Amino acid sequence: MTAPEIIACPECDLLQLGAAVTPGSSLRCHRCHAVLRRGRSNGPENALAFAIASAVLLVISNVFPIVGLSVNGNLIQTTLAGSVRVLYVNGTWPLAVLVGITTILMPVLQTVAMLWLLLPLQLGRVPWQAPAAFRLFQLARPWGMTEVLILGLLVALVKLAHIATVVPGTALWSFIVLMLLLAAASASFDPREMWARIVAGENAGRAWRLPPIKVRRAAVTASGYGLVLCHECGLLMRPPAQAGVCICARCGSRAHMRKPASLSRTWAYLVAAMVLYVPANVLPVMDTSSLFGAQKDTIMSGVVYLWVSGSWLLAVLVFVASIVVPMLKILGLVYLTVSTQLHSRWLPEQRTWIYRIVELVGRWSMLDIYVITMLVALVQFQALATIKAGPASIAFGAVVVLTLLAAMSFDPRLIWDEAERDHVRGK
């Protein structure tokens, strides 16, 4: 008889027994209600199909023009890579690097990693260098922002429609479909099922099995039993007896009972983000030159322009994504960090929900960066009108990246550590 699987929650570290999950249902943590596992039917097969389709659309999306602008019979078109090149040529290379990484490089790496892992498994083979490919997938997934790019393109098209005739390109439609396919591929990709098939293929499961653990009345978490959870592949293991770096036996990632220097690194990113938040909202985010003179626009003036021009929904959307979300992310992370440092026992479940929300909405602050990218790439009419990215665009991009890194550095398990101490004390 097979012993029930022991699972450690990645958000509160609670040890609990696994259970079978039917397709369409999910297994949640008993304490913090985090999703531990989702039931999928034919997950690897579906993920492979979506990944193959995504690979085809990635080529189309990056080769064909994404949008064009027609003025007096002259048509100016740009590809996504062309937009990045314009930013680089105009001197805003940090912005060019950020846009290139989040809209081109990371979606490509995510798709290639899935194909690398899933295609050999479909053919009954073990993928070569599977741990490295899996770590690459885990690295690329949070930084690919195709869905935010699509929304940014929509806002840019509304602004461009007041300047000239907008001509949607082939890549615009392929990007919309690509956004849906990448989301479906990522949702269908089940690391647990993938590693189970790799085990069956190379008969290496024994090295990955958790040795029997002896029940302790004073411990309820993985760390209380001296166990470490790999956050990349979900393997629960014992750290080496000698002090040193704990390397996951399955995917090769570094594993820690708690993220090293979690609070200090979170504070470092937050302080830097707070400093840059001021110039990001005060300095001009775009410089427009035309026959009628020069104009400098801040993020707020762009919101006002959308509102006055009748695009109220987009104005609210840009205001929330570019001003409200970064501020709330900073405030939310400051609250979590301070309360954790003070060993607060107050509402741990609600604080965990705040952490999840911060992680979920973090990427949407990139909206304004993509709007600026499209405007700069297309409005290049030499003597008639040109748009360049202002200094605030670089500061704002840095704020988005720093808040994302702060959220990644914060370890939500620290919120629940005080509950573990109370359990040990018998409270």
3-state secondary structure of 124: coil
**What CA–CA distance (Å, rounded) separates 281 from 327?**
11
Report helix angle 299-308 to 262-282, nearest 10.
Answer: 60
Q: What is the dihedral of CA 289, 293, 398, 175, to 10 degrees?
A: -40
Establish if 375 belongs to a structural domain. Answer: yes
Q: Which pLDDT belongs to residue 52? A: 95
Establish if 59 belongs to a structural domain. Answer: no
- Mean pLDDT across 135-158: 88
**What is the per-residue pLDDT across 260-315, written as a single tens digit (0 to 9) for each?**
899 999 999 999 999 999 998 888 888 766 545 566 778 888 788 778 877 788 78
Residue 132 pLDDT greater than 80, yes or no: yes
- Which helix (H) or strand (E) segment is 16 a member of? strand 15-17
Residue 159's Cβ-count burial label (10 Å; 0-12, 13-18, 19+) is buried
Whole-number percent of the chain with pLDDT over 70: 88
Establish if 232 belongs to a structural domain. Answer: no
Q: Which pLDDT belongs to residue 49? A: 93
3-state secondary structure of 70: strand
pLDDT confidence band for 203 (50 / 70 / 90): low
- Mean pLDDT across 153-180: 84
Residue from 108, 131, 120, 93 nearest 250 by CA:
131
Residue 80, strand partner residues: none
**What CA–CA distance (Å, rounded) separates 316 from 171?**
27
Could you tell me if 147 and 179 are in contact, meaning their C-beta atoms sit under 8 angstroms apart?
yes
Residue 378 pLDDT greater than 90, yes or no: no
DSSP E strand stretches across 143-292: 165-168, 228-229, 236-237, 246-247, 254-255, 286-290
Establish if 326 belongs to a structural domain. Answer: yes
**What CA–CA distance (Å, rounded) separates 284 from 57?**
35
pLDDT confidence band for 1 (50 / 70 / 90): very low
3-state secondary structure of 294: strand
Quote the number of domains for the chain. 1
Could you tell me if 232 and 11 are in contact, meaning their C-beta atoms sit under 8 angstroms apart?
no
> Mean pLDDT lowest for which of 26-35, 126-135, 153-162, 205-214?
205-214
User: Which two structure tokens, joined as six digits, stand for 44?
Assistant: 């690897």
HEC per residue, 229-244: ECCCCCCEECCCCCCC
Residue 335 pLDDT greater than 90, yes or no: yes
Give the domain range for residue 297: 260-410
Q: Which residue has the tokens 């690329």?
A: 140
Could you tell me if 147 and 313 are in contact, meaning their C-beta atoms sit under 8 angstroms apart?
no
Residue 139's Cβ-count burial label (10 Å; 0-12, 13-18, 19+) is middle
Establish if 194 belongs to a structural domain. Answer: no
Residue from 250, 276, 7, 210 nearest 130 by CA:
250
Residue 331's CATH number: 1.20.140
Establish if 103 belongs to a structural domain. Answer: no
Establish if 352 belongs to a structural domain. Answer: yes
Q: Which pLDDT belongs to residue 336? A: 94
Establish if 309 belongs to a structural domain. Answer: yes
The radius of gyration computed from the CA coordinates of the chain, to the nearest angstrom, equals 24
- Mean pLDDT across 43-72: 89
**What CA–CA distance (Å, rounded) separates 268 from 300?**
27
> Mean pLDDT lowest for which of 85-89, 203-207, 213-217, 379-383?
203-207
